[in-house]
Amino acid sequence: MSEYQSTFTERLNREIAQTPDEYLPMLLQIVSLFRQCIALKPADDSFRQGWKEAMAGEKLPIEDLWSGIEK
């Protein structure tokens, strides 16, 4: 484990230790949801989701996708 990882692991452990027991289930749920949200989905899952959205008409005009990226 790197020093960077170790520092944050220690800080997280301190925060958890200071959390009242009755709030631990909610804290676990928050951490689990956070991890799920930041994890990359497999490419085939992402493609299926995109295809489903496209077939359902959930799309934007190409002009909208490119707006605001000009320098």
Domain membership of residue 18 (yes or no) is yes
Backbone angles phi, psi at 32, to 5 degrees: -65, -45
Tell me the per-residue pLDDT of 2-48, one tens digit each, with 9 for 90 and over: 877 789 999 999 999 999 999 999 999 999 999 888 888 788 988 99
**Domain around 41:** 3-66
Q: Which residue has the tokens 């960077």?
A: 4
- Kindly provide the residue ranges of all beta strands, DSSP E only, lying in 11-70, ordered along the sequence: none
pLDDT at position 15, please? 95
pTM value is: 0.51
What total number of domains does the chain contain? 1
User: For residue 51, what pLDDT band results from cuts at 50, 70 and 90?
Assistant: very high
User: Mean pLDDT across the stretch 40-67?
Assistant: 87
Domain membership of residue 71 (yes or no) is no
C-alpha–C-alpha distance, residues 21 and 35, integer Å: 22
